[in-house]
């Protein structure tokens, strides 16, 4: 019988301390750590984040070259020695010690090939090691041909009974994706050396029929710094369908190029070792019958291998392994594809696992425990991680032909366009009706060209993202009809009769509200590139279009001919980047209330440059700018959306075409993902916190204060508070979430009561936006995590966006609190984003939504930019009413 695991708050895993290391106590429940989750409202990206550089393009065009055999000997450059590497205290291999070991192994063994597949955010090399029997150039080409046949002609591959005998089954071992979960790296190095030097005939047989790929450390920044996140402050194991980080893009490319039948991702720390498969809900876009059968079997094998090491609670403080699918009820699910093992199945992995090794050595334990105890624990952890790797390659060897056949079947079902299969009850012991999740695949998705598209730049970004994920995209040669609508030539078509249709669908479908099915989810429960990335995406049930495959989206930038001023409607992140690039050059831009930027004729050459770079389309400046705030239906308590509560609509004093806008300089008490996004958009940002302000902060270089994490007005000392209050007479304020709402109240800014939804509620929400300066141009969907709304609005407050009255949640998980508060019903029609003027002069915007969450909802970034532009340009101007 499954045991329930509650995940309504962050829990800390406690392993025995040095004084009680061998005491026999029940193990704590298995709880994953959050990443970029609720703690985002508490800890700002600190002052150290000022040293973070902007993201750079990957320096290596990594792919598995078809014309090279194995081994592929590469002399890896050796980093400088770093005595501060956090691994050293644990007796583990420091980052600077990895390349020398790999170089030595390449010299000693023809089974080992090491290559650099990219760089981390802070510029450290990422190493992929391939272990396999030597292959000639022609043998390597044959493997490539077989791999392509499995994916692109799976029906023929399924008929070829000799194919599994000829094909080397790929296994992918991912390590150290969380930087302070170290030991997977050391276990991988141990196993690589064993395989490289073994004389065992079974190892020789394994390597003749298998390629083993090891991502030695997925997060070298975190490994060196002793933290979970990478150098940009991102939890890399939350980024796979967004791929904002270079490390994740490298892992993604490895999965695409190697097409593993099985993968494991080594983490820590759960005592006893936790081995997936997971609890419900299960990802509805998998071929789950194939997946659960193999994943459960390998999970049992890893469990047996770890038990065979002989560790016990009495002797070592190590408890028996646990398998969430078998041992738990809910709370450790494989629903969102944001994790590496939940992303891998879309590239053919028919077994994929997170493995959480047992003894905690990070956090307070790293600081407080004696070095000898830490090294005892890390030694046990390394041995357990190595046992999990050995069990998995043994599993691949034993099930070699079946795993290949199952991967072929995954791709065959997609290419044939078969319906989602319902997994038979009892397919593995304990598989019941609570485990059954299915989806409906459309015949195709169409991303329209022409008037049906909100933003051509958004469409191009989405198409390029799909292609980067190995989803097949075509472009219509001529106009066609589908679902009673005519689509113009040039529209993009994602034909769902393709091998990786599961990945296409998991990105493009709206998703599901799974609130009724489970009480608690581990992480996000709703996402949708179609609804959140700014492009128009239509699912269609029939397809009669002639579409040619595309390798990249068509260019979208343009500047009209002529000599007059230009207009740029800011409705996409690329347009924000282009506008900020112009502002950084000192271009005299005029900002209109409807979200249009007017560029003077003298800046036409600069407009051409940013148009080419960002793919944005300028239009001739006309009457689009300067539109007064409009009134839209749907605001709470009878207040028109876009209108100040209880007052007529107003316009800004100034010219008929808007107000002057210069580069907006931001002081941000914010989370790492928001800091990354603001800088990616081109805003100059200085990270701050309560401590920063209390130490003395020069506000003269700031136009807007952004508050979402790590800043408490009440905790400021008198000097800091006085300086901030002076700034509020001339600067703007934008806030988000609980910290932002508390700041607004404590600083006495807008008259608004912040109401908190359930803390773990999250997903894609329907919203109704105004035609005002912040709401204008916003899509009809937003993202929420710990949602909030605003009531008791004062006469100075404008409702910019409200939750829909028909029920806000499209996809995700949003239940009320046990006392009935904080649910979807309570949020219906309530103000989600508001703006107004503080009596001191500050223009203020409050967000109850999550428009920059983990750098994912690209289509919402312009709403944040409009809030920043408006609050910067309005401050100090008078407000007039008719």
DSSP string, 615-679: --B-EE--SSTTPPP--BS--GGGPPBTSBTTS---EESSBTTBEEE----EEEE--HHHHHHHH
- What is the distance between the alpha carbons of residues 844 and 275, in angstroms, rounded to a whole number? 48
Q: Which two tokens stand for residue 85?
A: 């590497």
What is the DSSP secondary structure assignment for residue 575, as one 8-state letter? H
Question: At 844, which helix (H) or strand (E)?
Answer: strand 843-847
Q: Which two tokens stand for residue 431?
A: 């598989």
Provide φ and ψ at 666, rounded to 5°.
-115, 135
Residue 65: per-residue pLDDT = 66
Rg, C-alpha atoms of the chain: 28
Provide φ and ψ at 148, rounded to 5°.
-65, -40
- What is the distance between the alpha carbons of residues 789 and 787, in angstroms, rounded to a whole number? 7
The answer to whether 670 touches 687, Cβ cutoff 8 Å, is yes
Task: Label residues 769-804 b or e (16+ Cβ within 10 Å = b).
Answer: bbbbbbbbbbbebbbbbbbbbbeebeebbbbbbbbb
Bridge partners (DSSP) of residue 790 are: 754, 831
Question: For the segment 778-836, what is each residue's pLDDT rounded down to a tens digit?
Answer: 999 999 999 999 999 999 999 999 999 998 999 999 999 999 999 999 999 999 999 99
Task: Scan for tokens 């689509």, then name that residue.
Answer: 487
Let me know if 378 is exposed, middle or buried by CB neighbors in 10 A (0-12, 13-18, 19+).
buried
How high does pLDDT run on average in the chain? 89
Assign 706 to helix, strand or coil: strand
The answer to whether 593 touches 773, Cβ cutoff 8 Å, is yes
The angle that helices 456-468 and 573-584 make with each other, rounded to 10 degrees, is 110
Residues 6+ apart with CB under 8 A from 277: 292, 295, 296, 299, 323, 324, 325, 334, 353
What is the DSSP secondary structure assignment for residue 231, as one 8-state letter? T
- Other C-beta atoms closer than 10 Å to the C-beta of 61 total 8
Question: For the segment 598-618, what is each residue's pLDDT rounded down to a tens digit?
Answer: 999 999 999 999 999 999 999
pLDDT along the chain (882 residues), means of 10: 34 36 54 52 55 43 68 94 98 98 97 97 98 97 97 98 96 98 98 98 98 98 98 97 97 97 98 96 98 98 98 96 96 97 98 98 97 98 98 98 98 98 97 97 93 77 97 96 94 98 98 95 95 96 94 94 94 96 96 90 97 95 45 32 36 53 97 97 98 97 97 98 95 97 98 97 97 90 98 96 95 96 97 95 96 97 96 60 26
- 3-state secondary structure labels for all residues of 766-813: EEEECCCCCCCCCCCEEEEECCEEEECCCCCEEEEEEECCCCCEEEEE
The answer to whether 811 touches 764, Cβ cutoff 8 Å, is yes
Bridge partners (DSSP) of residue 596 are: 569
In angstroms, how far is CA 163 from the centroid of its own chain? 36
Residue 225: per-residue pLDDT = 98
- What is the distance between the alpha carbons of residues 272 and 319, in angstroms, rounded to a whole number? 4
- Other C-beta atoms closer than 10 Å to the C-beta of 558 total 15
The angle that helices 400-416 and 288-307 make with each other, rounded to 10 degrees, is 160
Residue 637: per-residue pLDDT = 34
Q: How far is CA 234 from CA 177, 179, 333, 685, 839, in A?
A: 11, 11, 21, 18, 38
Task: Scan for tokens 């980047």, then name that residue.
Answer: 577
The answer to whether 812 touches 763, Cβ cutoff 8 Å, is yes
- What is the distance between the alpha carbons of residues 366 and 216, in angstroms, rounded to a whole number? 22
Listed residue (345, 358, 187) closest to 275, CA to CA: 358
Q: How far is CA 672 from CA 50, 218, 250, 668, 854, in A?
A: 11, 19, 21, 10, 9
Q: Which two tokens stand for residue 361?
A: 């050595």
Residue 42: per-residue pLDDT = 64
Residue 215: per-residue pLDDT = 98
Listed residue (302, 113, 139, 140) closest to 214, CA to CA: 113
Residue 754: per-residue pLDDT = 98
The answer to whether 418 touches 443, Cβ cutoff 8 Å, is no
Residue 45: per-residue pLDDT = 73
- What is the distance between the alpha carbons of residues 702 and 686, in angstroms, rounded to a whole number? 9
- What is the distance between the alpha carbons of residues 635 and 527, in angstroms, rounded to a whole number? 25
Q: Which two tokens stand for residue 866?
A: 């409009």
Which region holds residue 112: left if phi is over 0, alpha if psi is between -120 and 50, else beta? beta
The answer, yes or no, to whether the previous bond of 306 is cis (omega within 30 of 0) is no
Provide φ and ψ at 751, rounded to 5°.
-80, 100
The angle that helices 573-584 and 604-614 make with each other, rounded to 10 degrees, is 140
Residue 46: per-residue pLDDT = 57
| Strands 547-549, 685-687: pairing kind | unpaired
Question: At 355, which helix (H) or strand (E)?
Answer: strand 351-357
Task: Label residues 623-633 b or e (16+ Cβ within 10 Å = b).
Answer: ebbbbebbebe
Which region holds residue 841: left if phi is over 0, alpha if psi is between -120 and 50, else beta? left
In angstroms, how far is CA 356 from the centroid of its own chain? 21
């Amino acid at each position: 019988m499954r045991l329930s695991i509650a995940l309504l708050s962050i829990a800390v895993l406690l392993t025995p301390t040095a004084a009680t290391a061998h005491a026999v106590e029940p193990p704590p429940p298995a709880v994953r750590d959050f990443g970029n989750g609720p703690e985002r409202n508490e800890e700002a990206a600190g002052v150290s984040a000022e040293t973070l550089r902007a993201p750079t393009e990957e320096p290596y065009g990594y792919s598995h070259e078809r014309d090279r055999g194995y081994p592929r000997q590469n002399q890896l450059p050796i980093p400088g020695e770093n005595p501060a590497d956090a691994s050293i205290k644990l007796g583990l291999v420091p980052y600077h010690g990895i390349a020398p070991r790999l170089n030595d192994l390449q010299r000693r063994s023809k089974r080992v090939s090491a290559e650099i597949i990219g760089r981390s955010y802070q510029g450290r090399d990422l190493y992929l090691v391939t272990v396999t029997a030597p292959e000639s150039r022609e043998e390597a080409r044959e493997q490539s041909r077989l791999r392509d046949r499995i994916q692109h002609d799976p029906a023929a591959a399924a008929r070829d009974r000799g194919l599994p005998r000829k094909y080397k089954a790929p296994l992918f071992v991912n390590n150290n994706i969380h930087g302070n979960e170290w030991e997977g790296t050391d276990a991988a190095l141990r196993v690589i050396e064993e395989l490289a030097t073994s004389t065992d005939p079974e190892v020789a047989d394994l390597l003749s029929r298998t390629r083993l790929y090891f991502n030695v450390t997925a997060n070298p920044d975190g490994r060196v710094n002793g933290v979970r996140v990478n150098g940009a402050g991102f939890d890399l194991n939350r980024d796979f369908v967004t791929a904002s980080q270079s490390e994740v893009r490298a892992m993604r490319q490895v999965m695409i190029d190697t097409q593993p039948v099985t993968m494991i991702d080594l983490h820590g720390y759960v005592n006893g070792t936790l081995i997936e498969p997971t609890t419900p809900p299960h990802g509805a876009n998998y071929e789950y019958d194939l997946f659960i059968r193999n994943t459960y079997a390998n999970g049992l094998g890893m469990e047996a291998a770890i038990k065979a090491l002989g560790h016990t609670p009495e002797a070592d403080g190590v408890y028996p392994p646990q398998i969430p699918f078998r041992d738990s009820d809910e709370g450790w699910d494989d629903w969102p594809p944001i994790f590496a093992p939940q992303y891998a199945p879309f590239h053919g992995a028919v077994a994929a696992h997170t493995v959480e090794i047992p003894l905690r050595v990070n956090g307070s334990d790293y600081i407080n425990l004696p070095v000898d105890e830490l090294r005892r624990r890390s030694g046990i952890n390394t041995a357990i991680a190595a046992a999990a790797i050995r069990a998995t390659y043994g599993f691949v060897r034993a099930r070699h032909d079946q795993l290949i056949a199952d991967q072929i079947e995954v791709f065959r079902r997609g290419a044939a366009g078969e319906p989602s299969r319902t997994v038979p009850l009892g397919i593995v012991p304990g598989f019941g009706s609570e485990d059954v999740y299915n989806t409906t695949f459309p015949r195709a998705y169409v991303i329209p060209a022409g008037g049906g598209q909100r933003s051509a730049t958004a469409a191009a970004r989405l198409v390029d993202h799909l292609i980067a994920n190995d989803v097949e995209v075509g472009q219509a040669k001529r106009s066609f009809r589908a679902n009673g609508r005519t689509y113009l030539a040039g529209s993009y078509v994602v034909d769902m009769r393709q091998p990786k249709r599961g990945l296409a669908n998991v990105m493009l479908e709206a998703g599901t509200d799974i609130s009724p099915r489970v009480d608690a989810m581990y992480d996000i429960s709703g996402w949708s590139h179609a609804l959140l990335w700014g492009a128009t995406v239509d699912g269609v049930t029939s397809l009669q279009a002639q579409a040619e495959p595309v390798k990249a989206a068509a260019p979208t930038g343009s500047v009209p001919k002529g000599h007059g001023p230009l207009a740029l409607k800011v409705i996409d992140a690329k347009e924000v980047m282009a506008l900020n690039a112009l502002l950084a050059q000192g271009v005299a831009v005029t900002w209109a209330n409807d979200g249009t930027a007017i560029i003077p004729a003298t800046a036409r050459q600069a407009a051409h440059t940013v148009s080419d770079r960002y793919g944005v389309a300028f239009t001739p400046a006309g009457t689009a700018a300067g539109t007064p705030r409009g009134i839209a239906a749907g605001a709470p308590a009878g207040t028109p959306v876009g209108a100040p509560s209880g007052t007529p609509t107003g316009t800004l004093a100034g010219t008929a075409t808007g107000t002057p806008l210069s580069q907006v300089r931001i002081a941000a008490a914010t989370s790492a993902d928001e800091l990354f996004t603001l800088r990616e958009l081109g805003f100059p940002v200085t990270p701050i916190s309560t401590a920063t302000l209390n130490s003395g902060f020069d506000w003269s270089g700031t136009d807007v204060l952004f508050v979402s994490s790590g800043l408490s007005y009440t905790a400021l000392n008198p000097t800091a508070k006085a300086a901030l209050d002076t700034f509020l007479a001339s600067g703007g304020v934008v806030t988000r979430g609980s910290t932002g709402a508390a700041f607004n109240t404590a600083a006495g800014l807008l008259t608004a009561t912040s109401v908190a939804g359930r803390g773990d509620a999250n997903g894609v929400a329907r919203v109704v936006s105004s035609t005002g300066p912040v709401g204008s141009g916003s899509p009809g969907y937003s993202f929420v995590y710990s949602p909030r709304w605003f009531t008791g609005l004062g006469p100075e407050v404008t409702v910019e966006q409200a939750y829909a009255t028909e029920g806000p949640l499209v996809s995700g998980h949003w239940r009320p609190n046990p006392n009935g508060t904080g649910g979807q019903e309570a949020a219906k029609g309530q103000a989600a984003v508001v703006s107004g003027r503080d009596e001191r002069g500050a223009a203020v915007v409050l967000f109850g939504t999550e428009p920059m969450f983990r750098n994912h909802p690209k289509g919402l970034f312009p709403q944040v930019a409009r809030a920043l532009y408006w609050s910067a340009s309005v401050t100090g101007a008078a407000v007039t009413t008719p």
